[in-house]
Amino acid sequence: MSETSEENTRTDKSGQLNAGEVMLGERNYEAALDLVIARAERELLIFDQDFSRGAYGGSARYERIRDFLANKPHARLVVILQDASRFQAGCPRLFSLLQLYSHAMTVFQASEQVRSAKDTFVLADQAHYVRRFHIDQARFKYDMQDTETAGMLNMRFDELMQATSHTVSISTLGL
């Protein structure tokens, strides 16, 4: 199956993604990320290997996250990365948000014990989520208002938080 036809396998006739179904394709994954991030009103939790997938280095993802932080008075963004070096060097726009919104945004480096995890997820307001089952495969599920699955992902995020090694700092000294 070609990548183009694969990426269109889980969209309806209007080209919309079908929430609640397992889907394929990098572009569909990026579109689902956009939908979930746009729905966030209070809290956005992200667990990712290194931001190498999902267009985190691009301007569209930056604008979506910046809008969340700038336009929601009580916004909170918490990110756990298995390897934060790409975030620091390859995502300068997102990294700049850490300085601008340090009161609302925190990025953590995962400890060694978490580095074997191969899935990623974004959770918004403990109700909306995108979960990529394996970082090397563009196979994922997203849903809105699924508080049961989102609750399980929130518990998982809490467990991952307990296994972080340090906070990513905007200064080289860590101050």
3-state helix, strand, coil in the chain (%, to 5): 40, 25, 35
The string of pLDDT tens digits covering residues 138-174 is 899 999 999 999 999 999 999 999 988 788 877 654 4
Confidence tier at 74 by pLDDT (50, 70, 90) = very high
In terms of pLDDT, which residue wins out, 164 or 64? 64
> Which amino acid appears at position 107 of this protein?
V
Using DSSP, state whether 141 is helix, strand or coil.
strand
Residue 10: predicted pLDDT: 44
Mean pLDDT of all residues belonging to the chain: 86
Residue 6: predicted pLDDT: 36
In terms of pLDDT, which residue wins out, 13 or 103? 103
Q: For residue 14, is pLDDT > 50? A: no
Q: Are 82 and 138 in contact (CB under 8 A)?
A: no
Question: pTM of the predicted model, to two decimals?
Answer: 0.86
Q: DSSP H helical segments within the chain, as ranges?
A: 3-7, 26-39, 59-71, 85-90, 92-100, 147-162
Q: For residue 61, is pLDDT > 60? A: yes
> What DSSP state is assigned to residue 17?
B
Positive or negative torsion for Cα 171, 93, 111, 42: positive
Domains of the chain with bracketed CATH = 3-167 (3.30.870.10)
Mean pLDDT of 61-67: 96
Lowest mean pLDDT of 8-12, 97-101, 112-116, 143-147, name the range. 8-12
> What DSSP state is assigned to residue 11?
B
Residue 16: predicted pLDDT: 64
Q: For residue 119, is pLDDT > 50? A: yes
Which of 103, 157, 161, 167 lies closest to 129, judged by CA? 157
Positive or negative torsion for Cα 19, 124, 35, 62: negative
